[in-house]
Amino acid sequence: MLGTSSARSTEHTDFTAEQIEFIANIVRLYRGEEVETVDGRGDLLGKYFPDGEYVDVGGLRKVATRAEIEEQD
C-alpha cells in the first residue's frame, strides 16, 4: 500500500516523494510520456511495467470505463 495514514485522521494520507513520483510515472506511461526517476522509483516501474509501457496492474491501477465504475456501486 502506498502512503501512511496520520494517527489523528484516517482520512489523511502522507505520501513520500518516491511514492508521488511512482504515481506520476504511471500517469506518464499512460499518456505515452517519458518517465522521471529523480526520487528513485525506477525499481517499482521496472517491476510493474517491465516493457516501459502502461498496462493494467491488478490491485494497483486499471483504466476503467464509466460503465465499469457504475457497476461497482
d(CA 28, CA 32): 6
Give the predicted TM-score (pTM) of the model: 0.70
Which residue has 465499469 as its cell numbers? 68
Q: Which of 25, 3, 29 is nearest to 14 (CA)?
A: 3
Domains in the chain, number: 1
* pLDDT at res. 40: 72
Structural domain of residue 37, as residue ranges?
4-71
* pLDDT at res. 4: 52
d(CA 17, CA 25): 12
Q: Which of 46, 42, 40, 49 is nearest to 17 (CA)?
A: 40
Tell me the pLDDT tens digit for each residue of 7-59: 555 677 888 888 899 999 999 999 999 999 887 767 888 889 999 999 999 88
Q: Which of 46, 71, 66, 70 is nearest to 57 (CA)?
A: 46
